[in-house]
Amino acid sequence: MAHLAICGGKPVRTEPFSAWPVYDDREKQALIETLESREWGIGSPKVEAFEREFAEFCGARYAISCTNGTDAIYIALQALGIGAGDEVIIPPYTFIATAIGVLMCNAVPVFADIHPLTYNLDPASVKEKITPRTRAIIPVHIAGNPADMDGIMELAKEHDLFVLEDSAQAHGAEWRGKRVGPLGDLGTFSFQTSKNLSSGEGGAIVTNDEALSERVRTFVNCGRVKGGAWYDHHELAGNHRLGAFQAALLSVGLERIDDQMKTREDNAGYLQGLLDELDGIDMTGAHAGTTRRVHHLGILRFGSEAFGGLSKKRFVEALNAEGIECAAGYLPLYHYHYFRHFAEKTPAYESLYQDRVDYGVVTCPVTERISAEEGVWLFQETFLGNTQDMDDVAAAIAKIQKHAHEAIES
């Protein structure tokens, strides 16, 4: 008789985990107030209030909201003056928005490898990628786990580079007691549906630099400048403004985010304790400067050998079958169709990239191993429940480990 659910056995869990996004009567009231105000767009008090609240939450002097996290990266790079042919170092283990923001500025994404313990951009690899054309580094605080900001900032200072923090998954995460986002020159956030602070879509850029904040707002608002005429446009820029309804939802979300952060932290810590009793499976670690990680994802480090040679792909299938929703995670960005066919996709920019980078031969060995063999994602809503939920996750993993031969043979 089969034991594993993927082979016909009874699953460990049949009940869903916590629902996401979260809402209650506060969101309903905020949306009604916004509707009845008729101030739905530019100049809305709801947008202005959220920007003040989010800046305070991040420990930043300024926050400028925008349409989404992808636009936030693009806008931030424009504000930093990144342009045609400039090189920007990024990790390949991230959502494609990190690279798209660079490409939209006609700049060149240069991939540096990630750290095997944290899955964040590795300063040692970044150092090897710096050239005279390098203008910026984008560390991604993957899964809500801060990148090594000491190492990144040291390299930036040494080589006079900008640092743009991609904090899309890291609302509230802390490095040496300070929230991520304003640690570099600029920091970007996403409020897409899955994010720990969500309005369906939306984004923000934070900074402590007043001049940069004004530059950002110019690129968010059709190229207008502070004190300028309404129909006078100083930069080539689109309309990337956040709407009032989204801002209203986000302000309410900020009211509960601290409690949610603590719940995720507590449950992730409890789960790690359970995983310590199993061989070949744990969660990603943190750099020494990390004082708070916020678990947008709980990334498991899976070791095939301890599971009798079970592949990562089959482990993910088996864990999902046991009622524990999970995913295999990112491919290296340079493996995606767009980068594998980069030359034919970007003929207009051939002169900017020619002989500079061939994404067909790029290799980041740590990223490739993690993507193919090791990294398995649990989602943030999994950690919004209770310890029984964590018991189920650990029980499902232990069950798969004990009966791995069934999944291998089937």
Say if 398 falls within a structural domain: no
Mean pLDDT of the chain: 96
356: confidence class by pLDDT, cuts 50, 70, 90: confident
Say if 238 falls within a structural domain: yes
Write down the pLDDT at residue 344: 86
CATH number at residue 248: 3.40.640.10
Per-residue DSSP letter, 142: G
pLDDT for 54 beyond 90:
yes
pLDDT for 352 beyond 90:
no
CA distances from 120 to 91, 113, 151, 165, 302 (A): 7, 8, 12, 12, 17
Q: Encode pLDDT of 165-207 as tens digits.
A: 999 999 999 999 999 999 999 999 999 999 999 999 999 999 9
pLDDT, mean of residues 75-97? 97
Q: How far is CA 148 from the centre of its chain?
A: 15
pLDDT, mean of residues 18-35? 97
Write down the pLDDT at residue 200: 97
Q: Are 402 and 370 in contact, with CB atoms under 8 Å apart? A: no
Cα(336)–Cα(106) distance, integer angstroms: 19
254: confidence class by pLDDT, cuts 50, 70, 90: very high
Q: Are 160 and 141 in contact, with CB atoms under 8 Å apart? A: no
The token duo for 141 is 């605080």
pLDDT, mean of residues 336-355? 84
Say if 98 falls within a structural domain: yes
pLDDT for 348 beyond 90:
no
Per-residue DSSP letter, 331: P
Write down the pLDDT at residue 357: 80
349: confidence class by pLDDT, cuts 50, 70, 90: confident
The total domain count for the chain is 1
Say if 265 falls within a structural domain: no
pLDDT for 323 beyond 90:
yes
Q: Is 24 helix (H, G, I), strand (E, B) or coil?
A: coil
Instruction: Estimate the share of the chain in helix, then strand, then coil, as percent rounded to the nearest 5.
Output: 45, 15, 40
Domain that holds residue 155: 25-253
Percentage of the chain exceeding pLDDT 90: 94
The token duo for 278 is 């199993």
Ramachandran bin of 360, using left for φ above 0, alpha for ψ from -120 to 50, beta for the remaining angles: alpha
Cα(213)–Cα(66) distance, integer angstroms: 13
Q: How far is CA 186 from the centre of its chain?
A: 15
pLDDT, mean of residues 383-394? 98
Say if 315 falls within a structural domain: no
Cα(228)–Cα(251) distance, integer angstroms: 29
Write down the pLDDT at residue 17: 97
pLDDT for 238 beyond 90:
yes
Write down the pLDDT at residue 364: 98
Largest CA-CA distance found in the chain, in angstroms, rounded: 76
Say if 106 falls within a structural domain: yes
Q: Encode pLDDT of 107-166 as tens digits.
A: 999 999 999 999 999 999 999 999 999 999 999 999 999 999 999 999 999 999 999 999
Percentage of the chain exceeding pLDDT 70: 100
Q: Are 87 and 135 in contact, with CB atoms under 8 Å apart? A: yes
Question: How many residues are recorded in the chain?
Answer: 410
300: confidence class by pLDDT, cuts 50, 70, 90: very high
Say if 67 falls within a structural domain: yes
Cα(21)–Cα(384) distance, integer angstroms: 11
Say if 117 falls within a structural domain: yes
| Among candidate residues 302, 293, 304, the one with its CA nearest the CA of residue 327 | 302
